């Protein structure tokens, strides 16, 4: 998923967020302003190697549109969880109950964002604490197509080999600029953090910390990509992570698996304190 400036491309292209890199380095001449951060080594996310989701089978999914597009999850009728690195601008909207980006769907609810609350310790350089809460201007109507996600209440580190699911509207190929029209999903597998940090993988640039989860496929070809930022990592029916970063133009590369913010106990405490209620 690449960040695309709104003054050069269509709304759909502009809406792509940068999950696997937040940088200002040029990718192609036409994409020279694609990324909002600092290092040319990391990038953002879209679903690679997956399939179209069954319409409305993921009722917790939130489509976030501002300066760029991100994914997110509804955690309360008036709160959405996403990634802190998503650059949404001043007046973003959240659409719930969506399957298609373009088609009119009676299930869609589009709500304004009243507040954007980044985690106070978010660090765009180390990519630590990459989570953000969006308070909606009013509560969503909960129904079969729109309902909150179940956040993980177990805080043990996910074991390597655990099967998980990632969903999003991100790009489906590394050099593609337009987001997928329909919600897509892919199965990924948890990868040991030590492997992700070794010389054959990220080599500690950046460090994949205990607050992060590494997931992908040993053979490659399954990953989040540009535009999937902020979306959920679902394991055993619960959200355990948030799409955070990867390697620029290397979505699906087995040497650079997707990295996710891990929903640790301290993050759940911060979420509950911020929204003022239990989950």
Q: Give catalytic residues, as residue numbers.
A: 85, 130, 229
* Residue 157: closest CA among 265, 5, 23: 265
Asked if residue 19 lies in contact with residue 227, where contact means CB atoms within 8 angstroms, the answer is: yes
H/E run at residue 51: strand 51-52
Q: Which residues contact 79 (CB under 8 A, 6 or more apart)?
A: 133, 134, 135, 136, 275
Question: How far is CA 158 from its chain centroid?
Answer: 19
DSSP tag of 48: B
- Give dist(CA 135, CA 72) in Å, integer: 12
* Residue 71, phi then psi, degrees to nearest 5: -100, 170
Question: Which residues is 4 bridged to in the sheet?
Answer: none
């Amino acid at each position: 998923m690449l960040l695309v400036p709104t003054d050069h491309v269509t709304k759909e292209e502009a809406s792509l967020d940068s999950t696997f890199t937040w940088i200002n380095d040029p990718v192609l001449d036409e994409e020279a302003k694609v990324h909002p951060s600092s290092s040319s080594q990391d990038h953002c996310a879209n679903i690679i190697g997956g399939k179209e989701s069954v319409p409305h089978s993921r009722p917790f999914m939130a489509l976030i549109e501002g300066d760029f597009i991100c994914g997110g999850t509804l955690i309360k009728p008036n709160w959405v969880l996403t990634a802190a690195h998503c650059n949404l601008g001043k007046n973003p909207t959240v659409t719930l109950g969506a399957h298609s980006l373009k088609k009119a769907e009676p299930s869609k609810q589009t709500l304004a964002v009243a507040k954007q609350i980044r985690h106070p310790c978010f660090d765009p350089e180390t990519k630590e604490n990459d989570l953000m809460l969006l308070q909606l201007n009013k509560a969503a109507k909960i129904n079969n197509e729109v309902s909150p996600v179940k956040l993980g209440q177990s805080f043990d580190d996910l074991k390597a080999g655990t099967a998980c699911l990632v969903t999003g509207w991100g790009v489906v190929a590394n050099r593609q600029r337009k987001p997928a029209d329909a919600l897509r999903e892919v199965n990924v597998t948890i990868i040991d953090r030590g492997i992700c940090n070794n010389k054959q993988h990220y080599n500690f640039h950046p460090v994949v910390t205990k607050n992060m989860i590494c997931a992908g496929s040993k053979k490659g070809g399954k990953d989040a990509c540009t535009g999937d930022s902020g979306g959920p990592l679902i394991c055993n029916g619960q959200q355990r992570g948030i799409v955070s970063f990867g390697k620029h133009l290397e979505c699906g590369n087995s040497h650079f698996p997707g990295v996710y913010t891990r929903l640790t106990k301290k993050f759940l405490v911060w979420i509950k304190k911020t929204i003022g209620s239990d989950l």
